[in-house]
Structure 1
Amino acid sequence: MKCIGIIPARYKSSRYPGKPLVEILGVPMIIRVAEIVAKALGKENTFVATEDNRIKDVVERYGFKAVMTSDGCLTGTDRVWEVAQQIDADIYLNIQGDEPVLNPQDILNIAEQKIRFPNHVINGMINLDANEDPNNINLPKVLVNVNNDLVYMSRLPIPGIKDDSRVKPTYKKQVCIYAFNYNELKSFGESAEKAYYEQFEDIEILRFFDFSIPIKMVETTSSSLAVDVPEDVEKVEQFIKGNLK
């Protein structure tokens, strides 16, 4: 079974232009993510999907493969769909390009769960830690049922709390590793527009609800630490320094 990892990397980010090329301790962030994916899936199965030649040039200079995609992709998953039309695989893993401290084992676990649940989209999640604020809109919060099927995902704290005197719930956040098959990506990409709630939340996985494609959430072994704004770079660098062996 062929499984490939695709890292969407858009240069023209509205919140942080050029983010994939920001250096994390001297290494471009997109390369740090590519190295993690390569540890899990092999360098030959690692691809960066981008609309910008500056990113392509850096990726190839480090010996990784780049796939050029259009400038009009609505989301990273739309960019992955464009790659799927060019490269045959059984499982397409979408790994966000702003997650430079992911555990390679989590990528493998997501792929294994896709084999186990072939008719589900697979996505990662983990509990918020004590230093993370559920009200932070940069952290999509996850609500699942007892079988870890996704009920909803929101930038607001979910579940909501009616009675503040009660014990607070355990909040979970999304970890941006996804697994799809070709037909799931086809449904997503050919919709050509964002779903109604996707537009408000700016959470692309919500689009699959409109196609009645179930989503299975998988606990990851370590927390993600995404670079959403320039201030996050220092936090990531400190994390890496603290975990150097």
Structure 2
Amino acid sequence: MDILGVIPARYASTRFPGKPLVDIAGKSMIQRVVEKCLASKVFRKVVVATDDERIYDHVEALGYNVVRTSADHLSGTERCHEALKMDEGSYDFLINVQGDEPFIAPEQIQQLASVLDRKSEIATLIKVIDKLEDLENPNVVKALKADGGLALYFSRSSIPHMRNIPTEDWMKSHQHYKHIGIYAYRVDILSKIVTLAPTPLELAESLEQLRWIENGFRIKTAITDQETIGIDTKEDLEEALKLLEAGEIK
């Protein structure tokens, strides 16, 4: 199975401008993401897709594959699709590894790739929630799945609602999952979902994957037991540097 790895990266982040180029213990954030992708050994090719000349020049200087994409994309999914169209290779799947996930484990990428087959449309990772504050945090996206692993819904709220159960007992009463934002798309499905208009549930939750579910596409989930630490703010970076120095992440 031929898989293209695409790392969408943009400079103009509202909360942390320039974060793909920020130094993390001697390596840029984007360099760390590329290295994790290459270490997974699941890709025929890994490419960074960016609309910024500074990121492009940096990745090119490191000797990695990089393409310049439109500045008009509204999501990483659209940027991945453009990178796919620009590539001359033929692939079965594309895996989108976010450019602000410098500590994603190669094993997690391998796990996602391992659940793909010819019938798979979209796949992603989820993890058991082990902290009550994560259930109550709207920035932690929750996932609800069927027994067979297909995603039923994603929400910023705790799902399902635990009726008549005290909040402190929610985790004892039900297995809750959070979403890990790495996606695999069958290439023909990717070409379809980028043409879809925003949907009511997506707009309500501000979660792009709900657009796909509302349009009938199936999202397969795989459960990882490894945590990821995304870098959305300078505070996230400071906390990650502490964990890195303590040897708790790598």
Per the normalisation by structure 2, the TM-score is 0.89
Q: CA deviation at 1:125?
A: 0.7
| Counterpart residue number, 1:206 | 210
SS in 1 for 2:66: strand
The letter for the 2-side match of 1:108 is: Q
| Counterpart residue number, 1:154 | 155
Which one is further off, 30-39 or 152-161? 152-161
Q: Does 1:227 align with 2:231?
A: yes
| Counterpart residue number, 2:181 | 176
The letter for the 2-side match of 1:84 is: L
Deviations 1:149-168 (A, max 9, x none): 11110112222222233731
Per the normalisation by structure 1, the TM-score is 0.91
| Counterpart residue number, 2:190 | 185
Q: CA deviation at 1:52?
A: 0.6
Q: CA deviation at 1:220?
A: 1.5
The structure-2 alpha-carbon separation of the partners of 1:244 and 1:130, relative to structure 1 and needing over 3 Å to count, comes to closer
Contact 1:8 1:49 in 2 (8 A): yes
Q: CA deviation at 1:43?
A: 8.0
| Counterpart residue number, 2:110 | 108
Q: How many residues align structurally? A: 243
Deviations 1:122-158 (A, max 9, x none): 0001122337522222211111121221111011222
Contact 1:135 1:157 in 2 (8 A): yes
Superposition pairs of residues 13-52 of structure 1, within 5 angstroms: 13-41=13-41, 45-52=45-52
The structure-2 alpha-carbon separation of the partners of 1:15 and 1:199, relative to structure 1 and needing over 3 Å to count, comes to farther
Structure 2 distance, partners of 1:14, 1:24, is 20
| Counterpart residue number, 1:128 | 129
The letter for the 1-side match of 2:223 is: E
The letter for the 1-side match of 2:125 is: G
SS in 2 for 1:153: strand
The structure-2 alpha-carbon separation of the partners of 1:157 and 1:66, relative to structure 1 and needing over 3 Å to count, comes to same
Contact 1:103 1:221 in 2 (8 A): no
Q: CA RMSD in A?
A: 2.1
Which one is further off, 9-18 or 45-54? 9-18
Deviations 1:89-108 (A, max 9, x none): 11100011111111101111
Structure 2 distance, partners of 1:19, 1:50, is 13
| Counterpart residue number, 1:142 | 143
| Counterpart residue number, 1:69 | 69
SS in 2 for 1:85: helix
The letter for the 1-side match of 2:45 is: N
Contact 2:11 2:20 in 1 (8 A): yes
Structure 1 distance, partners of 2:2, 2:223, is 23
Contact 1:22 1:29 in 2 (8 A): yes
The letter for the 2-side match of 1:122 is: A
Contact 2:120 2:220 in 1 (8 A): no
Which one is further off, 136-145 or 195-204? 195-204
Structure 2 distance, partners of 1:32, 1:14, is 22
Contact 2:198 2:211 in 1 (8 A): yes
Contact 2:3 2:43 in 1 (8 A): no
Q: Percent identity over the alignment?
A: 33
The structure-2 alpha-carbon separation of the partners of 1:235 and 1:184, relative to structure 1 and needing over 3 Å to count, comes to same
The letter for the 1-side match of 2:129 is: L
